[in-house]
């Protein structure tokens, strides 16, 4: 069966410090991978998605970047965190259903990031 691992669960970082969040998927190959951010009481904002190694699409101009160095590894990074980067970060994977359509997405446990 497929599993998705995301760590750490919580993180407190000072303004201006770097960030690296990692997500790995097991039990599937060539998944679509996603990074979302959720502000308190809000919906999920799509930050990045990837359909393959080295293929990253950015949805929102921001202080973050993403990389996919391996098929089942997705990393979210920042060189210098801002207060506005605080939030609940979620990694997800989905399969490909064909004709640009996806199967359902499954989420990691999330990382609650607080920038102080």
Partner 1 sequence: QKEVEQNSGPLSVPEGAIASLNCTYSDRGSQSFFWYRQYSGKSPELIMSIYSNGDKEDGRFTAQLNKASQYVSLLIRDSQPSDSATYLCAVNRAGKLIFGQGTELSVKP
Q: Give the residues lining the site for partner 1 (CB under 8 A).
A: 32, 34, 36, 42-44, 46, 49, 51, 57, 59, 90, 92, 94, 96-97, 99-110, 112
Question: Which of residues 7 and 107 has its CB atom nearest to partner 1 in the complex?
Answer: 107
| Residues in CB range of 88: below 8 A, 6 or more apart | 37, 38, 39, 40, 110, 111, 112, 113
Residue 115: CB minimum distance to partner 1, A: 18
Residue 1: CB minimum distance to partner 1, A: 14
Mark residue 59 as left, alpha or beta (left: phi above 0; alpha: psi -120 to 50; beta: remaining). Answer: alpha
């Amino acid at each position: 069966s497929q599993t998705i691992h995301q760590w750490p669960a919580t993180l407190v970082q000072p303004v201006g410090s770097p960030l690296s969040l990692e997500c790995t998927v097991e039990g599937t190959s060539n998944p679509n991978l996603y990074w979302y951010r959720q502000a308190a009481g809000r919906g999920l904002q799509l930050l990045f998605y990837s359909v393959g190694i080295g293929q990253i699409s950015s949805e929102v101009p921001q202080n973050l970047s993403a990389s996919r160095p391996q098929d089942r590894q997705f990393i979210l990074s920042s060189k210098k965190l801002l207060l506005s980067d605080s939030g609940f970060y979620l990694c997800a994977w989905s399969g490909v259903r064909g004709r640009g359509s996806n199967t359902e997405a499954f989420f990691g446990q999330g990382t609650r990031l607080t920038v102080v």
